[in-house]
Amino acid sequence: MYKGSTNAPLPITLLYASDNAVAQGDFRAAVDNMSGNFKSAPLTAEYLVSKQQPPPGTIIFVDCYYSNFTGYQIIQFLKKSKLFFKIPIVVLSKINDYRTQETCWLLGADFYTVQPDSLQEFALLLECLVKLDWPTRKRDKKEFIYSLKNKITA
């Protein structure tokens, strides 16, 4: 979890890149069901090019099948941007596809996870992800596929 200089948790902002209204609604509903103080906002093309510095404690979630751009293009843009390249990127997908996972890894995403169908599981998945010690965490290919079931039983 992100910590400030007083070890108090900073507010966490969850940005979600998807142009699918249903997926955006599911994401907002999952964030609303999380325990804690979280903000969610859409990561729009306008936000990406606005030169606006994301707040500390931001985590970016990317819908891999974004239709106007591919999720791949968004990850590439984020990793090349001076404002976004250090921000954690989690790919949310409805599909468990090796080729897509491998491409996301090579482009620099931090995790790939299959989005649960249940709102409660989706909120729990997001909670587990935001509790990670992101500032000290190193990318690890062995842990790239993030599974809620593995995290609950670990």
Q: What is the mean pLDDT of residues 102-126?
A: 93
Q: What is the pLDDT of residue 39?
A: 83
Q: What is the pLDDT of residue 80?
A: 93
User: pTM for this structure?
Assistant: 0.86
pLDDT at 145 over 80: yes
User: Residue 138: which region, alpha, beta or left (left: phi > 0; alpha: psi -120 to 50)?
Assistant: beta
Q: Which of 61, 35, 152 is nearest to 113 (CA)?
A: 61
Q: What is the pLDDT of residue 69?
A: 65
pLDDT at 126 over 80: yes
Contact between residue 94 and residue 113 where contact means Cβ atoms under 8 Å apart: no
Report the C-alpha gap between 130 and 1 in whole angstroms.
6
| Six-digit token string for 20 | 């699918």
Q: What is the mean pLDDT of residues 118-129?
A: 92
Q: What is the pLDDT of residue 41?
A: 86
Q: Hey, is 39 helix, strand or coil?
A: strand
Report the C-alpha gap between 10 and 5 in whole angstroms.
10
- For residue range 15-72, what is the model confidence (pLDDT) as tens digits? 999 888 888 999 999 999 988 888 888 888 788 878 788 888 899 999 877 655 678 8
Q: Hey, is 13 helix, strand or coil?
A: strand
